[in-house]
Structure 1
């Protein structure tokens, strides 16, 4: 029987991704759920996308849309340049695509277009890059952008009184819809953690690979965790998003 494995934000760190998958010893029957933000950071952003396209030919892969993925997609599709994006890793993606042909870029555009905003598995677990805001669940959202930009779901989990339990009157409705939620988007290094962190029913798998942290993965059933080397050590001549 295959494993279901959630993989955190990669941010152009192809060397870390390859190392991580080798540690996991990925088998053909495994389901790999990528939580978004494949680009913007280290110099291999475009190469990460090419690698993932090939990986999906051999393994069952679920690719969720991250905010950085949407920004790169908009640039590839329309040439739109967002100044804030350029300040937060966008320039590294522009540089990474300099030697890519129009045909290769079109394949990547298709990859970005086919991503999912969220994924719900058979065990009623939600996988989403950032979060959702509608109290009735992601199916009832009015705008897609919250799935890959909103941080309030994680902020709520961090601020929740640990004495409040599911079923209590004041327990957040958003946290009662799913048995577990797996996210990325906000590095747990901000709360001085280095491995995936669980708060309430939410697992945050972003361990700061874009900065000084490692790239992480978690078996969503057994909760076994795998991590790469600190990504900056694999790209010693680069600054990432620092």
Structure 2
């Protein structure tokens, strides 16, 4: 039963579907999605629809809330996003997303953890927004766990570097900037949490 983590799909529904097909995702697998399903790319509603469909069909898909879901919920409540095609069901789904997940060997979170507070798992706001936190990791608090996160785009080659250095720095960023045009970005990454293999796919969607 493989365990995969993917983050920052950002409206790239074709790329997401193709990556899942390449993984040959089975209902017995565990798929963890770390937030930012919406914005930037061409088909935010389609991405959410794919995820909801997988869940309804019995796939083991667990999802976190990213900062872009937070912004979407806020805008929708101010009636600013009705024209973007989100339904009430989509918004309720986003509102019910988890802030983080603890699974054997890992803490999964969208952006990172705030180690300036006594219990980093209590600062749920920063879980969606924080940057520049890696150097503050409390190894004693973290124990033998690894933090897997997205939010800060980097080359998929840097994700592989994170994997190679995980014994020294217990954090792996899997945001490869799927919806970005910059050099070395524009990839969607799936991390196998058991083998630490990095599956990368160049963006298919037009942005």
TM-score, reference length from structure 2: 0.85
CA distance 1:201–1:99, change in 2 (3 Å): closer
- Please give the alpha-carbon distance, in whole angstroms, between the structure 1 residues aligned to 2:69 and 2:161: 23
Unaligned stretches of 5+ residues in structure 2 = none
Deviations 1:26-63 (A, max 9, x none): 01111110011001111101111111111112211111
The Cα of 1:175 is off from its aligned counterpart by 7.0
- Please give the alpha-carbon distance, in whole angstroms, between the structure 2 residues aligned to 1:234 and 1:140: 36
For the pair 1:129 / 2:110, whether they are aligned, the reply is: yes
Report if the CA contact (8 A) 1:197-1:204 is conserved: no
Return structure 1 stretches of 4+ with deviation > 2 angstroms.
77-80, 97-100, 134-141, 192-197
Aligned pair count reads 195
- Please give the alpha-carbon distance, in whole angstroms, between the structure 1 residues aligned to 2:139 and 2:128: 16
- Counterpart of 1:5 in 2: which secondary structure? strand
Unaligned stretches of 5+ residues in structure 1 = 81-93, 158-171
- Please give the alpha-carbon distance, in whole angstroms, between the structure 2 residues aligned to 1:197 and 1:34: 21
- Please give the alpha-carbon distance, in whole angstroms, between the structure 2 residues aligned to 1:19 and 1:216: 12
1:162-177 mapped onto 2 (5 Å cutoff): 172-173=137-138, 176-177=141-142
TM-score, reference length from structure 1: 0.73
For the pair 1:187 / 2:144, whether they are aligned, the reply is: no
For the pair 1:112 / 2:111, whether they are aligned, the reply is: no
Q: Tell me which structure has the larger Cα radius of gyration.
A: 1
- Counterpart of 1:152 in 2: which secondary structure? coil
